[in-house]
Amino acid sequence: MLLRVENLRVWFQNDQNWVKALSGISFELNQSESIGIVGESGSGKSVTALAILRLLPEKGMRIKGKVWFEDKDIYALSSQELCRLRGKKIAMIFQDPLTALNPVFTVGEQVSECLRYHYNLSKSQAKEQTIKIFQDVGIPAPESRFFAYPHQLSGGMRQRVMIAMALALRPKILIADEPTTALDVTIQAQILKLLQEIKDRQKMSLVFISHDLTVVAQIVERVLVMYAGAIIESGSLKQVCESPLHPYTQGLLNSIPRIEEISQEKRRLPVLCGERQEREIGCPFYGRCPKKMSICLKERPPFKEPISGHKVACWLYD
Amino acid sequence: MIKELHLKNILEVKNLTKFYLVKRHPFELKKRPLPAVVNFSLTLRQGELFGLVGESGCGKSTLGKLILLLETPDQGEIKWKGQDITKLSSRELKAWRRRCQPIFQDPLASLNPRQTVEQILEEPLVVHNLFRGKRLRQRKITRILQEVGLPAHFKKRYPHELSGGQRQRVTIARALILEPEFIVADEPTSALDVSVQAQIVNLLLDIQKSRNITYLFISHDLSLVAHIADRIGVMYMGQLVEIMARRHFQTNHHPYTECLLKAIPSFGKKPLSPVLGEPPNPLKLPPGCPYQTRCPYKKRVCSQEKPALKQITGGHLIACHLF
């Protein structure tokens, strides 16, 4: 077991109120396993990722639960230990590379900085290493790109630089938070392929976060579906995509326009009605659920395992 | 489905060209022309939904702005029912703007944060002097909100109090309130979640049916466009490389369209097929076909001659030397 998240709960302060962002997230990640976290905006996917690396702001935030990395509680580490963990053991790629990169340093300097910091390499050694990593992530002409500033690169190249930076220290876990959302489909396909290759080569574990189930399906083995700050379904890629149990996952899968299903006749897309509402008691999906029952209003469904390896939080399977 | 032959041409774009002047670095004295839209010709028929697809930077949004006359074209003409709208006087233009309305990508950016939904929807009526009198306007606003699926009490809300999908419904209501004949929708769903995207797209389709509105639907998402469009145009480097009706979707395509189709992620399609390289710098396009730098089927003729749009079968046009 590489990473274990146990009943993680997060609240944020909004004026005088505490708003619940995560309500009890638990999952495990094994060596060289890849999991995908899927959900709509505001479902808590990014908060989960940030909470794993202890990157959430300390002010105006309350957190409960545990995050274990190789028997170490991340929230009990000293700041020095935390620095050694971040980047070296668990690295992260963010959605928008232009905001994640520093505009006043060249991309080469930014990547070699982490090598020099963690390995005490000299400037020239770090540069040599950086150029090698640039080559690995498919940046053409890496020697000259070393001196390029982020604004001089295209979106795809910037994301490759981010990946290079994350991989520079050969982390055990890579957390990718919507790494392809800001990119074109053609570039997205290239980046996904690159991540797949690196993952296989380095035997790295991957947490891939996306709002798009089809993108996640390209790269992961196991999927967690999040809704309103909770995991509502988890299982292998095949189980979740081919025989989803939760009505939300079913609706989500139906509303994706799929290229294989183009018909001669134009038709409306199947729709998940309504939008997310906050509710304290009962199932958070109640308002939009086509299969709602009276119990759903009163009690929150437990996270059960009706099929081996396939868990769901829904009263239909009780 | 309506027979294509009976459809009237409503908008004709002929040889439309737009250059932006850019400097490569801030101290450069000479500005270089960057071709955004080059010799673009397109005919839209009454009541159809034309989907325009392409990567970012291919000029699809510029084309939308040119048709809305938010940018002045450098060359070419845009004919609305036979009349060239680039030569209209400002008064005629105002009348034309009533018939042609935009829906933009980011609803929060295109709605005034200091106006309530009611004020946002009332302003176009006041500007165009329609529905004179507060009560008539109020009734119209209530009706239009109902049509886009929002409750009447949303009138008093501000954009920040609405969710993304609700905001996009307000921009659709704002476009519809003038009863336009033509709507340019520039990536109307790319800022939204998939489940909300389906709702908004269905709303646009319902409106198309009930009001017989012509759409230019600009998007980067080929699978979405293929689901909803009557005809699809694929754009690359400011030019159309393919025009097809939806019945041509399962046939042969331009190499670029093929590459876009391959790049779309879907279930059970692994491993990903490699896609070639990045789009070239539009300032340094080689002569000949604009797609030659990434094309796997490149021949010698491709670097010498620019391929023109050729009819493959009825209504299916491809600009490629392979065909």
Interface ipTM: 0.83
What is the spatial distance between Cα A14 and Cα B274, in angstroms, rounded to a whole number? 46
Closest-CA residue of chain A to B274: A190
For residue B309, give the DSSP letter: P
DSSP A138-181: T-SSHHHHTT--GGGS-HHHHHHHHHHHHHTT--SEEEEESTTT
B251 burial via Cβ count (<10 Å: 0-12, 13-18, 19+): exposed
CA distance B95 to A161: 50
Which of A212, A215, A271 has the CB atom closest to B199's CB atom?
A271
A255, B197: Cβ pair inside 8 Å?
A: yes
Ranges in chain A, pLDDT < 50? none
d(CA A37, CA A48): 9
Please give the pLDDT value at position B271: 53
What whole-number percentage of chain B has pLDDT above 90? 59
With bands split at pLDDT 50, 70 and 90, how would you rate the model's confidence at B2?
very low
Strands B182-186 and B214-219: parallel
Query: CA of B16: how far to CAs of B79, B123, B148, B243, in Å?
Result: 11, 32, 34, 17
Q: Which residues of A touch B272 (CB under 8 A)?
A: 189, 192-193, 196, 218
Contact of A259 with chain B, judged by CB distance below 8 Å, is answered with yes
Residues in chain B with CB shorter than 8 Å from the CB of A188 are: 263, 265
Instruction: Please give the angle made by the CA atoms of A161, A164 and A166, to the nearest 5 degrees.
Output: 110
Q: Is B190 helix (H, G, I), strand (E, B) or coil?
A: coil
Q: How many Å apart are CA A226 and CA B186, to the nearest integer?
A: 30
* pLDDT value at residue B268: 67
Cβ neighbours around A120 below 10 Å, total = 9
How many Cβ atoms are within 10 Å of B201's Cβ, its own excluded? 25
Contact B101, B95 (CB under 8 A): no
**Inter-chain CB proximity B194 and A255 less than 8 Å:** yes
**Contact criterion met (CB below 8 Å) for A314 and A242:** no
Residue pair A85/A170 in contact (Cβ under 8 Å)? The answer is no
Is cis: bond before A57, omega within 30 of 0?
A: no
What was the pLDDT predicted at B195?
A: 84
Query: B223 vs A259: CB contact, 8 Å cut-off?
Result: yes
Condensed to tens digits (0 to 9), the pLDDT of residues A83-125 reads 999 989 999 998 888 889 999 999 999 999 989 999 999 999 9
Kind of pairing, strands B75-80 and B32-45?
unpaired
CA distance B9 to B157: 40
Cβ atoms A221, A35 nearer than 8 A: yes
- Within 10 A of B278 (CB to CB), how many other CB atoms are there? 18
Q: How far apart are the first and last CA of chain A?
A: 29
pLDDT of residue B3: 47
Contact status, residue B71 vs residue B62, Cβ threshold 8 Å:
yes
Q: Hey, what are A35's tokens?
A: 């999991």
Which amino acid, B161? E
List, for residues B274-308, the tens digit of each pLDDT value: 666 778 888 888 888 999 988 888 888 999 989 99
Note whether A185 contacts B274, CB cutoff 8 Å: no
Q: How far is the alpha carbon of B193 from chain A, nearest alpha carbon, in Å? A: 6
Q: SS3 for A5?
A: strand
Report yes or no: A169 and A122 within 8 Å, Cβ to Cβ.
no
Q: Chain A within 8 Å of B258 (Cβ-Cβ)? A: no
What is the DSSP-derived secondary structure letter of residue B115?
S
Q: Write down the pTM of the prediction.
A: 0.88
CA angle, corner A138, sides to A132 and A141, nearest 5?
70
Is some CB atom of chain B closer than 8 A to the CB atom of A14? Answer: no
Mutate to test the interface with B, among A266, A267, A277 (most CBs of B within 10 A): A266
